[in-house]
Structure formats: C-alpha cells, structure tokens
Structure 1
C-alpha cells in the first residue's frame, strides 16, 4: 500500500469489497441452489450429493483463483485483468513452463486444492448440523407463527436477492460494480476490492469491448475533425491518408548505411534515473548515454502493456486502440501506408525483423512479413542455441544479427529480444552478475528479496549485452543509426508503490554517426509510434514523402500517448480521466499541461489508429452500422 494509506482507507476497501462480493456470492449460490431445488422436487435422495459436488468444484476454482492472484499481482500490479486474454493468445507452452519454473505451479496448485478440501469439509459439516428442516421439526409452532416465519423468510430472501443483484445495495442507483468499486486513493486497495470472479468479469468485459471495437465512441465527423487538427489543415476530405501524409524537412544527420530499432524486453527507464544510479545494473546504457554521439529522451511511453503492442506500434505505426492487429484479417491483406518496412524500402534499405523467440508467437512471422518486411528471422533459424521458452539469450540474438550484417548492403533491422522475461532462468552467476554488490546497493528492506535480485540481474544482463552489441555494430559498420527502446515497463520496480512515471516509462536512446547531444528536442516526449517519424526526419532527403500518425522527436513532438496514459517532459497521467490529472515526472516539479490540446491529441491518436486499421482510409459512417 502507498505510504499515505491509513486505516480508514482499509476499512472503506473492506466494506466496498464486502458489498461487491454479495453479487458474486449470489451468483455462486444460484449455481448449486437451482439444481438442488429441482432435485428436491423429483429425486430428493440425490440433492445433497449434487449440491456438495457442485460446491466442491466451485471451491476448487475459487481457491485456485485466489492462489493465482498473488503472482499475477506481483507481475502486473493488478488483480486479474485483460492480460488474461492477451495470455490466451500467447505461447501456451511457454506460459506453462514459466508458471512451473518461476511461480512453482505444482506447489501452488497443491496448496489451492488443499485449501478447497478444507473449505469443502467445513461446508459439509455446516450443512449436516444446520438443517432447517430438523430445526423446524424440533419446535412446536402455532399456525400464526408458522405463517409469520414463512413471511419473514420470504422477506429476508427478497432482501438477499436484491443485495446480490445490486452489489450490496437495494437498487441500481447505489449499486456497486467493478467499474465504480475503486473509491480509495490507493491503487492496491482498489484492486483488492474486486474479488477474483469480479476481476475476471472485468477482464471479460474489457476484452469483449476490444473485440467489438465499442470501447472507442468516435463518429466519422469526430475523426475527420481530429485528423485535421493533428495535421494542421482544414477538415476538407474523408480520406484519412491525406491527413497522415508528411514531407521530410531534410536530413538532420548523414544518411546511415544501417538502421537498427531495438525493442528490448521489459527494459524500463527507472533504473536509468539518477536516484537509482548507485545500483549497478544499468552501467551499459548509462555509459552509452554519456557518449557524444548519443542522445536520450527519458519521457517515453510504450505502445501498450505487452510486447505485441510494441511490435504493432513499430511495424504499423498505429497506437494500441482496442484492436489486436496480429489476429485481424485487415492487417494481413496488405501493409498499411504507415507501415515502417515499405517506407524504409523507398529509402533504399533491405528490411529485416529479428526475433529471439519462435515465429509462431502472436503470428509475428506472418504478421511482420504481411506488413512488408522482406526477411524474418527467429529462433528456428538460429539452430540449437541456449535460451528460455520465450527465446534465445540476448547475446545469441545479437551474434546472429552481426553475422547476417553485410556492411555494403543498406539495411533496416528491427530486433526483439527476450532474456529479460520470466521465468528469469539465466545462469546469472555464470554470466558474471555480482549479486552481492547489487544486494549491498539496495535499501535494507529489499536486500533479502531473492526474487527481486534475480529480476534485477536479468535487467543487468540485458543492459550489458545491449551495450556490447551497440559497440560491435559501430565497430563493424560505423555509419549506423541505432534506436533503443523498451518494449514495455511495468513488470518490476524497486519501489513497491512506484509513481506512474517510474512504473510505465521506457527509455528512448538514439546513437550513431551524426547524432549529438541536442539532436532531440530538449523537451521531447513521445511513444513508440513516434520512432519511425523521428528516423525519417533524421535521414530522409528534403521533400521525401512519408506517412505516419506520430511525429518526430527532433522536430515537433513534445507529448506521447498510449493505451492508457499520456506524457510530457514534466507531467504524466491517465488518459481516461475527466479532467486529466497530471502527476509530476520529477518529484517537486509543478505538472502543467494544456488540457484541451492534450485531450485532442489523445482522441486523435486513438480514433485514427482505430478507424484506419479496422475500416480503411475513407471515413464512411455506414461502416459503423455494420458493426
């Protein structure tokens, strides 16, 4: 819990959660009550067995969810959410191995089943000793008392049904549900208010909204107006591609022979902050940032909460907007005009996508090639190499990229590594990780957290291998441009209640020939859809026509937005609050934003990404009627 959380907040969370769980309890009671009631009418001998059997299954499921919610919260800082459905589209074998290796699945499952058995035995004893029929038969009731008792029972049942339907209330006006339950000022308590079935119900609803594309409530008129605002022109056409058209202002650096965009797994920005510089896990990037041919933007957001969002952002140029592009037929029909690979081909580059994992993950091989990448390389192309279920080790991936790099053939390369990912099973000692030095640098309350030390060790490894790769590329091909970003943050932090900035921020590092301090705007901020526009404005000749939704961090971009947040150089906040509530990026600074401009930017990025990816370039309102 946050430092400012007090007993009244805990009491409010308990009371709110108690009320909401009345709804869950009511639903679960119906599951056994209805078949039990019907059996009592037709075959009473089976009633008790069936009720106990149904409740055995329910208690087992509830116990498993309860035990699973602990590692889930540790990983995602939330009760069950939409990541459940994202995981269902992931590599299920790899997920299973991760749960076994990192989260001790057999032990946790055994503990959950033991808990379920204890609860079931308690339920069985309760039903055996508290039979209403036995109580009624033992008492001699006058007729009026029997009628009064029946009326009281019906009234209590009526109240219980209302409380179950309306989440601890007697009417919908004051009902508690998953959308309005989080009323405390503490994020942890707000998640704790939801019991596990309610959290799953939330995940189901959010996923359904995404699949139905009804999470975005924009009309074609709205999108036209926003697209015109974003492109600084009149809303005089229904063709979105006109608004996405840009012209390069002329190269800000010598055109490189090779361009690299490295999406580094779970590579958060917080270890690069000054307050954590004493922890020896980020020396590689710190030394790189200090070099004269490198510039760094510390206020940058991932495209989404998972790796696949980063991939779609860099590959297609669209923001995460309630669409799962790697599963959409539209994304496989032809490259989007904002796609990175075809536009880099226009500049004379061969396009390659390098992935540490299997080509089948999220259909990444088929997806990237459908979006114009000429070559796709994955773990299956590398032979029998060391790694985890998610992919080969970073050093192996970088070695394969260097082997395939032809200094004389211009190339554009997107790299996606995987080592800094659960189950965090690298042999860190063999890699040279000084765990005791990191332990000594941690605050005393974290020094015995072996899981955290393992996670920090994997960040150290990713950082070291990334720095080695950059040096190797510069040595082999000195005229290269390299962009480094995390695919996402939000996996582990030193602070158990991190600020929004420390939790979600990722670094944007650009290095290579022609880059210098000041290449990026001093107040630059952005997200992954701004990577390619930044590259185009750095290397493309004046007048080069390209298409993008984002904009360059070297020219105009001073804000970023993603699936749930926005950021500037001084402020960050959630994108779905009205009004927007800015939080400071740096403690003690006053977070100031232009509310109207930021809201327009959020809506423009979301609405255009949603419409263009799903419905094409023409704003035709009749398309919405077909949904």
Structure 2
C-alpha cells in the first residue's frame, strides 16, 4: 500500500525549516562576534600595555569559537518550536520565528548594554556578583541603576538595538536567492542525493561546532573554563560572550551553594589544621587546632575598641606614587602620628562587602559559603566569632551599619553571631544618604553619641563611598579641579572617575574627623581601620594586582607606636581579631581563630583568590604560585609549598567548620554533590 505524505513532510519542507535554523545560527554567531569586537574597541583603555594586535585577533578567534556554542543554543530555542509548528500548525511557524527571536535578541541586547558598566565596575564580564545581588537590597540596586547607570536610557538603547537586529534577522530569513530557480530545475536523482547529503553534512557540522564550542570533539572543545588563553585579563573576559559569562557565574554559584567548589578530605583538613597550628595531627576535633593563647596585653586596657570597615577604601591612594593627588590627606596625617601604625600589604576577605562582614564577625575566610544566609549561622555563634570573645574580655558588643538591617540579613546575622546590639539606618532618623545608607558623617555622629563610659567593642560599616556616588562632595569641600590637575592627561576628562575620587576624599575626611573625635572623648580607645574591599576604581585602567585589590590596615590609639606591627607583616581580614586579642587580652587568655596576629607571627595574607606578603602578591589558584613584585621589580622567590599549605589550611578550615561543625567526620560528606 502506498502512503502519500502531506507536502509539508517532504524533503523540500524539511530543507526550508532547517535552512532557517542555519541562518539563525549564523546570524547569532555574527552578532555575538560583532558584540565582542565593539566591546574590545569601546573599552580598549583596559587593554594591558603589552597586548597587541595578535592578542586581539586571538581573543576574537577564540571568542567566535566559543560563541558557536552560544549561537547553537540560541538557534535551537527558536528552531525546535518552529519545526514542530511547521508540521502541526504551519500558519503559526513564521510567528514562532518572529516572537522567539524577538525575545532572544531583546535579552541578548540588554545583557550586552549592561556588560559595559558591569565591566567598568568589577573588571569582569558577568560573574557571581549578579547572584549575590539576589540577596542584596533589590530596591537599592534598582535606584542605583537609575541614578548612576541611567537605566531607562540604557534600556531604551538596548531595545532599539534589539529591534534593529530583529529586522535584520527577519530580512535574512526571508532572503532566498535562487531558491525558486533551483525548484524549477529538474536535476538528476544522483545530483539531488549529493546535494541533500551535502546539506545534512552542513547541519551535522554546525551541530558539532555548536556542541563542542568551535571544535569537532570534546578533546579540543572550547568552554568558559579554558577559553581565556591570552596574557591580557581584559581580553580573556572579552572572549566570553554575555550568555557564556552568565553561565560561568551560574556554574560557580552552583558550586558554592553545593559546597563542592572545595575538594578536601577529612585527612587533608586535619593535616592542614595541624600545620597551621604548629602541632601534631592528633585530634579529630577541629577546634583543638583553632585555639590560641594570648601572650599578654601590649596596651593598657582600652575603654572602647573600634573596627571600621570603610566602603571601597582601597590602599592605592596611600601609596607614595599617588601622594600628590589630594584625596587621602586624612589618613596620611593619621599615619604620620606617633600613636599609629600601618600595614600596607593587606587583603580583603572577598570581592564584596558581605565577605568583609563575615570575615570580621565570624573569623572565617571566604570559602564558597554564603554565611549570612546559611541556617548554621543562625543556630549559635561560631567559636571563632568576634563578639562572644570580646564579651569574655568585658566588652559590650555593637554593630553599626549605615544601611538597612535587611541588607544581606545583616541585622539578624550579626545578632545571631553574638552582637549585643545592632544599629542601622532605621535607628538614625531622617538623615541624608543614598539608597545604600546614610552619609558617613551622620553615621559617625550617631556612633559617637551612642557610646557610654561602659567598655564597648564596635564594628562600624559605612556606605558613602559606594555607587551611585551621589553625595554632593563639592558642596562639602571637594576641590575637583585641584584633583583633576594632578591626574594623568588621559584621566583628566573622566568625570565619573573624578566623582568616585571625590567620594574617596569624603570617606577619608570623615574617617579622620571621627578618629580625632574619638581620641578626644575617649583617649584610651583602640581603633582599627580597614577597607571592606578594593577593586572598584583606579586611576590606571590596568592597575597592578596589588593596586587593584589591596586595602589598608591602620591601627591607632593610646599605646600604639611605629613598630607595633611586625615590620614585614601582611594579612587579611581574618587576622584583625587575633591582632586585637594579642594587643589587649591578658596573658593566658584563650581565644579561637583561623587567622593570626600581625603583632607576633603573621607575615602573609590570603583571601578568596589571592595571597600577599610584604614583597609579593599572586593568585592563589595557580600551581606553582606565580609571585608578582609589589614594586614592579623582579619577582621575589617564595616557599611555594609553605604558602600552598597556608592557603589550603585557611580555606579548608573556613569551609568545614561553619558547615559541618567541629568534628572531622568523613561520613558527613556522604551524599554531598
């Protein structure tokens, strides 16, 4: 019995639909490649000085290969539904192509337009910060995007771009030169078969290139993890198209949430903890290795202790090479005083403010855990937490935050970790500020007024030096033109940079005024000043690793002197509390910490991605470690194994202890993703 299929099930019908799919695939590949080209051209100021045409061409080629995977995925989104509709409801097929690709191009264009301010802010294509934003203050983020990044204008531009691309794609799909002629010519069967096989071969080749990222097999496949092959960090980020960058962020965030981004066995952790503590690996109780004993107070007991986490307070403005730029006079004057000491080789706990908070509050390094949202963080304070240990020394504990208590659950988190009192924007009344928090001067005023003669430990987190950078700093005395005159010629017309530098100036001035006021009212106070993180803005678009990520560690107060800190000290935010304990705690006082004091032993710091010493800095995840000299000279030699052990010890303990508790029990890892 002969079966007659409908015409739409014919080879010609299949060929027509698949040809549209191939056209969509080619179109998206062209768009993503052009997006990359213009991204590099517009942001070319971020290219490293050693990067040349060959590096750019390599990035474009590598990126186009990777974008074959993205283009294939996008093409499938519109091809599969349209293929089904072609056979089931043919009248809706073209509508499907139009609607689905309209949506895809809108999303793609919005991401592309957003990638420019994102890179300027974070020096990366989309990363985990977009997922951190899900836990952030959404309203504040929205207002910031409107005020600083002109969201309505950028969105309108993105949608206009999407419309233009959509019209081009529709014209491309409708363009069928020679198709009617080929249909009218009756070719021999052999030629038709050869033509069909050739077409299927093209489809198969496109599928392979899409699956394996510009390759024909997994052995040579390009993906987000191996795409960055140039020596330039900017170009390596440009290689990732926006969907690939978001996939990277999602993948890394998934690893973090699943706690499988770190791969340590119980035996590894025991040995590393023993090495860190300088004892034998003879216990399965991790807390045994965290216990330390104070050597004896180096200061008279201070009435008040302050740890000031200053928003985006980077160390680079304090370096000698920038001393002529008048934005850091307050801290420079403070550092010149006899009762102040300073460690210029200090790292933040992570890339965002919440990492700094968790580092100071819990004493743990950033180790693929989101402590402010983990249920374990709300059961009881960790043994390494700062507030309960300061209470043992007789201090009432206060956390002062310029912003809202709901940000990152900071109010609930700090109180769950033992702080007696938490104060936030809602406690300060109607005071000037942005959506992220009140202006620094009003925060410090409330802290000063809220103190009593009772001994207190105070962590202060300000917010003014933060986008949208809307403090009227010129009205407050910022001499923009004087700063402009000290900048390199290529930076003098950068109004956004000048606004950012103005906010650093304001944060510096108000911080200096607060320290002066505290010393006048409570002259026996101990004050520690650190940035919450660096890595937001620099004068140099391609700063050294040290200038980009370093933050200052400043300690001042009665009894502090030059030489209080080790001359070759270095550290990170997990070392703040051990330093305080060794300064003020009586001899024999037991405290718990992962970090160690900069007054006694600590000569290295480590965080989520980097390590630092007094002479060098480097990435923490390279094997072997690759030191970069801090002064641009020849890289110093380091003991690679000792530093690797320190990095792994800090990370493994900070991963295991908050998630699984004190007992090193391998059964707790069973069933872990």
Pairwise TM-score range, normalised by the shorter structure: over 0.9
Any idea what the Cα deviations from partners look like across 1:480-523, whole Å, max 9, x if unmatched? 00000000000000000010000000000000000000000000
- Establish whether residue 167 from structure 1 lines up as the match of residue 187 from structure 2: no
Any idea what the Cα deviations from partners look like across 1:66-90, whole Å, max 9, x if unmatched? 0000000000000001111011110
Show the 5 A alignment for 1:282-301.
Answer: 282-301=328-347
- Establish whether residue 29 from structure 1 lines up as the match of residue 78 from structure 2: no
User: CA separation of 1:139/1:453 partners in 2, compared to 1, >3 Å: closer, same or farther?
Assistant: farther
Show the 5 A alignment for 1:357-506.
Answer: 357-406=403-452, 408-506=453-551
The DSSP-based 3-state class of the residue aligned with 2:307 is strand
The DSSP-based 3-state class of the residue aligned with 1:497 is coil
TM-score normalised according to structure 2 size: 0.92
1:216 alignment partner in structure 2 = 262
User: CA separation of 1:37/1:340 partners in 2, compared to 1, >3 Å: closer, same or farther?
Assistant: same
The DSSP-based 3-state class of the residue aligned with 2:341 is strand
When structure 1 is superposed on structure 2, of 578-587 and 208-217 the one drifting more is 578-587
- Establish whether residue 326 from structure 1 lines up as the match of residue 364 from structure 2: no
CA–CA distance in 1 between the matches of 2:317 and 2:483?
12
- Establish whether residue 5 from structure 1 lines up as the match of residue 38 from structure 2: no
Show the 5 A alignment for 1:433-582.
Answer: 433-582=478-627
Is 1:570–1:589's contact at 8 Å kept on the other side of the alignment?
no
The DSSP-based 3-state class of the residue aligned with 2:474 is helix
The DSSP-based 3-state class of the residue aligned with 2:475 is helix
Question: Which runs of at least 4 in structure 1 moved beyond 6 Å after TM superposition?
Answer: none
TM-aligned CA deviation for residue 288 of structure 1:
0.3
Show the 5 A alignment for 1:192-203.
Answer: 192-203=238-249
The DSSP-based 3-state class of the residue aligned with 2:529 is strand
User: CA separation of 1:315/1:155 partners in 2, compared to 1, >3 Å: closer, same or farther?
Assistant: same
CA–CA distance in 2 between the matches of 1:253 and 1:517?
14
TM-aligned CA deviation for residue 135 of structure 1:
5.5
2:644 alignment partner in structure 1 = 599
CA–CA distance in 1 between the matches of 2:248 and 2:500?
29
- Establish whether residue 262 from structure 1 lines up as the match of residue 324 from structure 2: no
CA–CA distance in 2 between the matches of 1:296 and 1:332?
35
TM-aligned CA deviation for residue 592 of structure 1:
2.2
TM-aligned CA deviation for residue 589 of structure 1:
4.8
2:166 alignment partner in structure 1 = 120
Is 2:308–2:529's contact at 8 Å kept on the other side of the alignment?
yes
CA–CA distance in 2 between the matches of 1:510 and 1:589?
31
Is 1:585–1:591's contact at 8 Å kept on the other side of the alignment?
no
Show the 5 A alignment for 1:133-144.
Answer: 134=180, 136-144=182-190
CA–CA distance in 2 between the matches of 1:155 and 1:503?
50
CA–CA distance in 1 between the matches of 2:348 and 2:495?
28
The DSSP-based 3-state class of the residue aligned with 1:8 is helix
CA–CA distance in 2 between the matches of 1:84 and 1:349?
38
1:188 alignment partner in structure 2 = 234
TM-aligned CA deviation for residue 131 of structure 1:
7.2
Is 2:627–2:635's contact at 8 Å kept on the other side of the alignment?
no
TM-aligned CA deviation for residue 626 of structure 1:
3.4
The DSSP-based 3-state class of the residue aligned with 2:555 is strand
The DSSP-based 3-state class of the residue aligned with 1:549 is coil
CA–CA distance in 2 between the matches of 1:241 and 1:136?
79
Is 1:303–1:562's contact at 8 Å kept on the other side of the alignment?
yes
The DSSP-based 3-state class of the residue aligned with 1:324 is coil
CA–CA distance in 1 between the matches of 2:214 and 2:177?
26
The DSSP-based 3-state class of the residue aligned with 2:342 is strand
Which residue among 128, 133, 154 is the counterpart of 1:87? 133
CA–CA distance in 2 between the matches of 1:589 and 1:252?
37
The DSSP-based 3-state class of the residue aligned with 1:325 is coil
The DSSP-based 3-state class of the residue aligned with 1:587 is coil
1:235 alignment partner in structure 2 = 281
The DSSP-based 3-state class of the residue aligned with 1:556 is coil
CA–CA distance in 1 between the matches of 2:406 and 2:559?
38
CA–CA distance in 1 between the matches of 2:401 and 2:187?
77
The DSSP-based 3-state class of the residue aligned with 1:337 is coil
The DSSP-based 3-state class of the residue aligned with 1:430 is coil
The DSSP-based 3-state class of the residue aligned with 1:457 is helix
CA–CA distance in 1 between the matches of 2:440 and 2:246?
35
The DSSP-based 3-state class of the residue aligned with 1:536 is helix
The DSSP-based 3-state class of the residue aligned with 1:482 is strand
Is 1:294–1:517's contact at 8 Å kept on the other side of the alignment?
yes
CA–CA distance in 1 between the matches of 2:182 and 2:171?
19
TM-aligned CA deviation for residue 547 of structure 1:
0.4
1:622 alignment partner in structure 2 = 667
CA–CA distance in 2 between the matches of 1:132 and 1:348?
88
Any idea what the Cα deviations from partners look like across 1:192-234, whole Å, max 9, x if unmatched? 0000000000000000000001000000000000000000001
TM-aligned CA deviation for residue 133 of structure 1:
5.5
Structure 2 unaligned regions, length at least 5: 1-46
2:14 alignment partner in structure 1 = none
TM-aligned CA deviation for residue 52 of structure 1:
1.1
1:43 alignment partner in structure 2 = 89
CA–CA distance in 1 between the matches of 2:184 and 2:615?
74
Is 1:439–1:447's contact at 8 Å kept on the other side of the alignment?
yes
TM-aligned CA deviation for residue 140 of structure 1:
3.2
TM-aligned CA deviation for residue 45 of structure 1:
1.3
- Establish whether residue 158 from structure 1 lines up as the match of residue 187 from structure 2: no
TM-aligned CA deviation for residue 385 of structure 1:
0.6
The DSSP-based 3-state class of the residue aligned with 2:618 is strand
TM-aligned CA deviation for residue 15 of structure 1:
0.5
The DSSP-based 3-state class of the residue aligned with 1:521 is coil
The DSSP-based 3-state class of the residue aligned with 1:431 is coil
Q: How many residues align?
A: 626
Structure 1 unaligned regions, length at least 5: none
Is 1:570–1:592's contact at 8 Å kept on the other side of the alignment?
no
Is 1:288–1:294's contact at 8 Å kept on the other side of the alignment?
yes
CA–CA distance in 2 between the matches of 1:138 and 1:486?
74
Superposed CA RMSD in Å reads 0.9
Which residue among 60, 63, 67 is the counterpart of 2:113? 67
1:99 alignment partner in structure 2 = 145
TM-aligned CA deviation for residue 152 of structure 1:
0.1
CA–CA distance in 1 between the matches of 2:632 and 2:652?
33
The DSSP-based 3-state class of the residue aligned with 1:428 is coil
CA–CA distance in 2 between the matches of 1:136 and 1:69?
44
